[in-house]
Amino acid sequence: MTETGATETGETTSRTAVSRSVLVTGGSRGIGRAIAERMARAGHKVAATYRSGSVPHGVLGVQCDVTDPTQVEAAFAQVEAANGPVEVLVANAGITRDTLLMRMSDEDWDAVIATNLTGAFRVARRAARPMIRNRFGRIIFISSVVGQLGSAGQVNYAASKSGLVGMARSLARELGSRGITANVLAPGFIETDMTAELGEDLVKKYAEQIPLGRMGSVDDVSGTVEFLAGESAGYITGAVIPVDGGLGMGH
């Protein structure tokens, strides 16, 4: 694989892209599935976790619930045996349990934090061990525009998603000297099962607030992940990259 590009002076550059061992959590549906598909198409050795359903063709499927430490350890062992140590981790698995604060139960809070924040911490910690040894790693957390914007009815979800920013930036500082980057991708409203529950009127209302005037596609997100995992993004760490059509500008 070769990546080509032009410098400011018009000079053409090219670098050989490397095939990496990639693990995507939550690769059975939506954004995670699109990321796994794209990374496999780009020539990487890709594994993806699923709880139910299946992963795309050409991707190694590993059954794993990120809230269960034993399943996480088993999944990494399976990926390492098949594809080698994980070099690119995409912590994507996530859920919502939306309701207003006064109605939000401890269970609603705990479930979202356990999956979105603790699950991401658990896979990042496990992935980092061999990355440190190999002095290379790319950790990408899938956050959300609401992590910084806030969202009525999503106190648990927004807290989990902004928690990823503090985690990524701390990892960037802890692990930077070992050649490991940690970044956050913050999607806006992307068409998936998660947003399919929103009514047509609400989608229209949201779209009106998005400068680009439309919801995003899973491909909008997967393209940015491919870039962050690629050789050209080696000097980007601790960044929060919006893929939101301009919705979160200024945050």
CA nearest to 228, candidates 50, 88, 80: 88
CA nearest to 164, candidates 206, 116, 231: 116
Q: Give the up-direction half-sphere exposure of residue 123: CA atoms within 13 A in the CB hemisphere.
A: 39
**Residues 140, 128: Cα–Cα separation, whole Å:** 12
- Nearest distance in Å: CB 152, ligand NDP: 16
Q: What are the CA-CA distances from residue 162 to residues 141, 169, 205 (Å)?
A: 11, 11, 24
Please confirm, yes or no, whether 157 is among the known catalytic residues: yes
Site string for ligand NDP, 11-50 (x = CB under 6 A): --------------xx-xxxxx----------------xx
Interface with ligand NDP, residue 53, by CB under 6 A: yes
Interface with ligand NDP, residue 97, by CB under 6 A: no
Residue 50 and residue 27 in contact, taking contact as beta carbons nearer than 8 Å: yes
- Nearest distance in Å: CB 171, ligand NDP: 17
Give the residue with the Cβ less far from ligand NDP, 67 or 136.
67
Q: Which of residues 56, 163, 187, 248 is near ligand NDP by CB under 6 A?
A: 187
Interface with ligand NDP, residue 93, by CB under 6 A: yes
Interface with ligand NDP, residue 222, by CB under 6 A: no
Q: Give the up-direction half-sphere exposure of residue 164: CA atoms within 13 A in the CB hemisphere.
A: 38
Q: Which residues are tagged catalytic?
A: 157
Q: Which residues bind ligand NDP (CB under 6 A)?
A: 25-26, 28-32, 49-53, 64-67, 92-95, 115, 119, 142, 144, 187, 189-190, 192-195
